[in-house]
Structure 1
Amino acid sequence: MKSRQEIVDRVAEANAEFYQAIETGDIDLMDRVWANEDQAPDLVCVNPGWPMLRGRAEIMRAWSLVMANIPYIQYVLTETHVGVDGEIAMVTCEENVLTAEEDNPGFVAGGQVVTTNLFVRTEQGWRLWSHHASPVMLEEDEGTDD
């Protein structure tokens, strides 16, 4: 039997694979990260500014579009916490996101998103059941007079 720390480490690895899939544009890895409908019914994905996505086909179609249209994206995860209860795990974190535009290679934009990722234990390992990301509104510097 695996120790609690080993289980937490496996969930953290599954979470890291999700972000690796996005950063590298690896749709095959993204496909492996998500659970199948028979393993976790009612798969859900919420990305900032997007409508709620339900079902594996809709989620994978959306990630394909995202990966095809973002030339560069990098995630620096902070405040990551993993909770496990039996066959379910929850990862909460802050995504510090850097992106660049293809037609303006010197331009890099950043933002912060808070995220909850739910995982389910399957025969293939921990698989994503739900991804919910919400943008954090950063306050402007109060000391500037514009």
Structure 2
Amino acid sequence: MPKPRYRPAEMAASADDVEAAFYEALQAGDIEQLMACWADEDDIVCVHPAGARVVGAAAIRSSFETMLTGGRIRVTVERTRKVESLSASVHSVLERIDVQTAEGQQHAWAVATNVFLKTAQGWRLVAHHASPGRAEVAEATVPGQLLH
């Protein structure tokens, strides 16, 4: 088993630290470190691009294990927007996803929301929701540009 880069106490110092550890673990294919980023709650939730809602640690772990069997996944986070309080932090990010396949390097984009709560164990991920996107995603900041 690969040695985690972060100890849980270090990782939980801030939501930013947990987010960095989450994406590093995903890129390294380190399922133990990836799951260490998540809260120990029954109702944690994950939605992969074009996927169903996955609820609970066991189901989330299984979904990432399945995803990682296809090979290495490199995710680069861009254009982060944050809403933070003393005990919650919501990050909206644009993810560039690079996957090495038999056909060569493939890439895609996802728009993701990561929700972190400050727990007794420190900051932890409680929700990750990613939707298919594209690099040219325009940010709707003018009233009237929103779809709903």
Q: Percent identity?
A: 30
**Are 2:112 and 1:108 equivalent residues in the alignment?**
no
**Are 2:134 and 1:130 equivalent residues in the alignment?**
no
Aligned to 2:49: 48
Structure 2: distance between partners of 1:134 and 1:11: 21
TM-score by length of 1: 0.77
1:118 Cα deviation from its structure 2 partner:
0.3
1:32-111 pair list within 5 angstroms: 32-37=36-41, 41-67=42-68, 69-101=69-101, 103-104=102-103, 107-111=104-108
SS at match of 1:86: coil
1:30 Cα deviation from its structure 2 partner:
1.2
Aligned to 1:11: 15
Could you tell me which amino acid in structure 1 is paired with residue 108 of structure 2? G
Query: Higher helix share goes to which structure?
Result: 1
Task: State the structure with more CA Rg.
Answer: 1
**Are 2:34 and 1:30 equivalent residues in the alignment?**
yes
1:83 Cα deviation from its structure 2 partner:
2.0
Q: Which runs of 5+ in 1 are unaligned?
A: 1-8, 140-146
Structure 2: distance between partners of 1:21 and 1:87: 24
Q: Which runs of 5+ in 2 are unaligned?
A: 1-12, 137-148
CA-based RMSD: 1.8
Note closer, same or farther for the CA distance 1:79–1:138 as it changes in structure 2 (3 Å cut): closer
Structure 2: distance between partners of 1:31 and 1:43: 11
SS at match of 1:34: coil
Length, aligned pairs only: 124
Could you tell me which amino acid in structure 1 is paired with residue 117 of structure 2? V
Per-residue CA deviation, residues 42-79 of structure 1 (Å, 9 max, x unaligned), is: 21100012211011111111112212x13221112111
Which of structure 1's runs of 4+ aligned residues deviate more than 4 A?
none
